[in-house]
Amino acid sequence: MNALKARATGSGAPGSGAPRDRVTFEQLSWISACLGLTLLAHVTTLPVWVTATVVACAVLRLALAARGRDAPPRAIRLTLSALAIGLLFLQLRTFNGLSAGTALLGLIAGLKLLETRKRRDIYVITMIIYFLSLAALLQGESFWLLSYLVGVCWLTTSTLLRLTNAAHSIHRRTSVRYAGRILAQALPLAVAFWLFFPRFGGPLWQLPDNGHGATSGLSDTMSPGDITDLAMSDEVAFRVRFSGPTPPLEERYWRGPVLHDFDGHAWHRTGPVHAPGLLFRGPAYHYTVSLEPNQHNWIFVLDWPSESNAARGFLTSDYMLVQPSPILQPLDVTATSYAHAPAADPLSATMRARDTHLLAGRNPRSVRLAHEMRDAHPEALDYVHAVLQMFREQPFFYTLTPPLLGAEPVDEFLFGSKRGFCGHYASAFATLMRAAGIPARVVTGYQGGTYNRFADYWIVRQSDAHAWDEVWIEGQGWLRVDPTSMIAPERVEHGLNDIVSPGHELTSRWQQRTPWLTDTRLRLDALQLLWRQRILGFDQNSQEKLLGLLHVPEPDGQKLAIALAVCLILGMSWLTWSVRRELHVRPADPVSRAYDRLCRRLAAVGLPRMPQEGAEAFAARVAAQRPDLAPSIIALCRCYTQLRYARDPTRDAAAAFVSAVRAFRPRGSRASS
């Protein structure tokens, strides 16, 4: 009786679910690591204290788990959660939008980690990790970010695998490998989805977004020295591909913000005023600008732009190409520009007033100098040349590290330091023009660019940032004047990096001295452009082209949906087949494979090999049941045995066996046996 009633020791006593549901230290640490790696992708945009809270929660929970203790009491957890989420709301004022939502999700994941007791909680965290990865990709755009996040997702999935594995029988490495295989099988289907899922042009609805990444590149104010910071940056501002002729270097001025208002120190941009139209002359240049997101709403175009295909872009009266919303996504714009653009009408009085305005009493010495020189040169164009000549002949130096200027920066620059960067020269020149009554404005943008000979396009980097002037000459219209080129002509000819004084370290300086590295960088950049255009810029048009490639007549959204459905069906069938095939991987050895085939063929005619039968025994039984097959089957099986057990079976013997099996086609069925 005791023997029968003895306590069961089976692997699954009823109701044994509860203890195995408890999370272990190992599971906790892995999921914490995955969460940490995901948040790493957000670390620049998350409020610092949110990151700190998540880290603190993870450390606290792990410390408790290491001592075998459970989550902290409910009251503490609730208080902490309410406090943290309340604080976040106070800081952000909203939970709507990407950055706010990301911060909230990250915080929730951390707090969830603190209260994790059962496997269920970890499942919730994995979901948050997946969504946080997506959120990072909505903001980011690089291939490396995608690879990194797919890697994190892989790790998370393998953690999930071990979490589901109740018996804890799976080794860490096995789980990573298995999750990787599942991910690899998912890849073709994902690509099909991605290619054929219909894209819509714009957003489904507009989400508010605050603090969406930092702005980069030129801004709509310029004080002397601003551009110095940009000159250090190797970051790509945009890339340009010309279709047709490429303008010479001295014409390659990429027009950005045009600045009209000068407060004696910095230049600002205010709303546009009506300006005369332009008559476009000279050679026309057609090109496509691929802009990196810069959080500003202007699009850099070649001087002087006449038209563009920017969907919501328009040309302002001072010939900036502007779109109403900031550029948050990589943007491709095709535009046409002309080398010369004389004005069609005279300058309006308001415009003239604005572009000759100087604050009274600022930079008095410069104003006096302007009056003196203007008296000597009554012709406006002569005066412009005289000022330029002054820059060329007097000891003006061009440097990336100019001395700091005080309250009257133009005076101090012209009469004191005489050392400056393009911003200083543009500012001083415009001041001298305005003081003499000639309308002048500062234009910021980029000049030059690096030609990528591997893929025929130009790379314009932040270090190509430049500032120049435009002056109004009666009868000719706005004329571009680049005073910086007077001081250091090489600067205009070769770009910034070559004229930096030798003591100054620039990252790309040594890179440019090693040609192979430059080449590698150019090739990488070409790949990046390809990535941008093919992957990031994949849209409705690309899909229509794709359908065209597949010889689908008159591609449209409906045909796209059909293509998606076909892909889905094919993909699922392939998946079913490939997943089941893994159950019975055929042996790699050709002899074993041939023997398997032999057995399959005999099984098909009603003579399956019994599991306990060796080759010889099987042959004997077959020979007894089917005398007609006897000679061949006995020979084949003997050959197989020899191949298996002989000391040195030759390759020819193996090949002969394989071909003999291939030729062996038993006929007949059960009936004949």
Partner 1 sequence: MRWIARRHGRDGLPFTINRRRIYIVPTRFGIALALLLVAMLIAGLNYNSNLGLGFGFLMTSLALVAMHHCHRNLLGLRVDVGGEADAFAGGTARFDFTLHNDAVIERCDIEIHCGDGTATTSVAPQGYAKASVDLGMSRRGIARHPRFELRTRYPFGWFRAWTYVQCPLTIFVAPDPRGNLPVPAAAAGSGHASRSERRGEEDFAGLRAYEAGVPLKHMAWKVLARGGEPAVRSYTGLAGRPEWLDWSTLEGLDAEARLSQLCRWVIEGEVARHPYGLRILGAEIPPSLGAAHRLACLRTLAAYGGGSAP
Query: Cis before residue 49, ω within 30 degrees of 0?
Result: no
193 near partner 1, judged by CB under 8 A: yes
Per DSSP, the three-state class of 368 is: helix
Among residues 138, 279, 550, 604, which is the contact residue for partner 1, using CB under 8 A? 138
Among residues 55, 56, 60, 137, which is the contact residue for partner 1, using CB under 8 A? 137
Contact between 470 and 237 under an 8 Å Cβ cutoff? The reply is no
Among residues 95, 194, 314, 510, which is the contact residue for partner 1, using CB under 8 A? 194
Among residues 14, 248, 324, 502, which is the contact residue for partner 1, using CB under 8 A? 14
Which C-beta is closer to partner 1: that of 109 or that of 629? 109
Residue 90 tokens read as 């106070």
Which C-beta is closer to partner 1: that of 311 or that of 344? 311
Per DSSP, the three-state class of 276 is: coil
664 near partner 1, judged by CB under 8 A: no
Which parts of 516-545 interact with partner 1 (CB under 8 A)?
Answer: 535-538
Among residues 10, 502, 503, 515, which is the contact residue for partner 1, using CB under 8 A? 10
Q: How far apart are CA 528 and CA 526, in angstroms?
A: 5
Which parts of 401-430 interact with partner 1 (CB under 8 A)?
Answer: none
Count of positions on this chain that bind partner 1 (CB under 8 A)? 73
Per DSSP, the three-state class of 471 is: strand
Which C-beta is closer to partner 1: that of 12 or that of 668? 12
Which C-beta is closer to partner 1: that of 582 or that of 648? 582
Q: Which of 425, 357, 352 is nearest to 391 (CA)?
A: 425
For 126, 214, 429, 472, the CA distances from 439, given in Å and listed in that order, are 62, 34, 11, 5
Among residues 38, 133, 497, 543, which is the contact residue for partner 1, using CB under 8 A? 133
Which parts of 76-105 interact with partner 1 (CB under 8 A)?
Answer: 98
Rounded to a whole number of angstroms, the minimum distance from the CB of residue 20 to partner 1 is: 9
Helix or strand holding residue 301 (H, E)? strand 301-302
Which range touches partner 1 (CB under 8 A), out of 183-191, 279-287, 334-342, 387-395? 183-191
Q: How far apart are CA 292 and CA 322, in angstroms?
A: 15
Which range touches partner 1 (CB under 8 A), out of 196-204, 246-254, 490-498, 544-552? 196-204
Rounded to a whole number of angstroms, the minimum distance from the CB of residue 42 to partner 1 is: 14
Which parts of 206-245 interact with partner 1 (CB under 8 A)?
Answer: 207
Contact between 451 and 397 under an 8 Å Cβ cutoff? The reply is no
Rounded to a whole number of angstroms, the minimum distance from the CB of residue 150 to partner 1 is: 7
Which C-beta is closer to partner 1: that of 59 or that of 527? 527
Q: Which of 294, 219, 301 is nearest to 255 (CA)?
A: 301
Provide the phi-psi class of 319: left if phi over 0, else alpha when psi is between -120 and 50, else beta: left
Q: What is the DSSP string of 533-590?
A: IIIIT--HHHHHHHHHHTT-SS--HHHHHHHHHHHHHHHHHHHHHHHHHGGGPPPSSH
Which C-beta is closer to partner 1: that of 92 or that of 163? 163
Instruction: Report the relative pairing of strands 419-420 and 314-315 from DSSP bridges.
Output: unpaired
The torsion defined by the Cα of 210, 212, 215 and 220, in degrees rounded to 10, comes to: -30
Rounded to a whole number of angstroms, the minimum distance from the CB of residue 7 to partner 1 is: 8
163 near partner 1, judged by CB under 8 A: yes
Which range touches partner 1 (CB under 8 A), out of 191-199, 213-221, 513-521, 619-627? 191-199
Q: How far apart are CA 302 and CA 340, in angstroms?
A: 11
Q: Which residues are catalytically annotated?
A: 422, 466, 482
Residue 254: phi and psi, rounded to 5, are -95, 115
Residue 404 tokens read as 């700091």
For 56, 74, 81, 159, the CA distances from 114, given in Å and listed in that order, are 9, 11, 10, 18
Which C-beta is closer to partner 1: that of 108 or that of 500? 108
Among residues 18, 75, 205, 214, which is the contact residue for partner 1, using CB under 8 A? 205
Among residues 18, 48, 90, 167, which is the contact residue for partner 1, using CB under 8 A? 167
Rounded to a whole number of angstroms, the minimum distance from the CB of residue 160 to partner 1 is: 5
Rounded to a whole number of angstroms, the minimum distance from the CB of residue 188 to partner 1 is: 8
38 near partner 1, judged by CB under 8 A: no
Beta bridge partners of 335: 287, 308
166 near partner 1, judged by CB under 8 A: yes
Among residues 12, 151, 346, 614, which is the contact residue for partner 1, using CB under 8 A? 12
157 near partner 1, judged by CB under 8 A: yes
190 near partner 1, judged by CB under 8 A: yes
Beta bridge partners of 458: 240, 451
Which parts of 563-622 interact with partner 1 (CB under 8 A)?
Answer: 571-572, 575-576, 579-580, 582-585
Which C-beta is closer to partner 1: that of 204 or that of 671? 204
Token pair 């255009």: residue: 533
Which parts of 320-359 interact with partner 1 (CB under 8 A)?
Answer: 329
Among residues 170, 373, 455, 630, which is the contact residue for partner 1, using CB under 8 A? 170
Distance of CA 529 to the CA centre of its chain: 11
Give start and end residues of each alpha helix (H) in 436-496.
484-487, 489-494
Rounded to a whole number of angstroms, the minimum distance from the CB of residue 585 to partner 1 is: 5
386 near partner 1, judged by CB under 8 A: no
Angle among Cα 568, 572, 573 to the nearest 5 degrees reads: 120
185 near partner 1, judged by CB under 8 A: yes
Angle among Cα 629, 598, 608 to the nearest 5 degrees reads: 80
550 near partner 1, judged by CB under 8 A: no
Among residues 62, 146, 249, 339, which is the contact residue for partner 1, using CB under 8 A? 146
183 near partner 1, judged by CB under 8 A: yes
Which parts of 103-132 interact with partner 1 (CB under 8 A)?
Answer: 123, 127, 130-131
Contact between 162 and 168 under an 8 Å Cβ cutoff? The reply is yes
25 near partner 1, judged by CB under 8 A: no
Which C-beta is closer to partner 1: that of 417 or that of 540? 540
Q: How far apart are CA 251 and CA 340, in angstroms?
A: 10
Helix or strand holding residue 473 (H, E)? strand 465-473
Helix or strand holding residue 427 (H, E)? helix 422-435
Token pair 């572009």: residue: 355
Q: How far apart are CA 512 and CA 497, in angstroms?
A: 9
Q: How far apart are CA 369 and CA 615, in angstroms?
A: 110
Among residues 187, 353, 550, 570, which is the contact residue for partner 1, using CB under 8 A? 187
389 near partner 1, judged by CB under 8 A: no
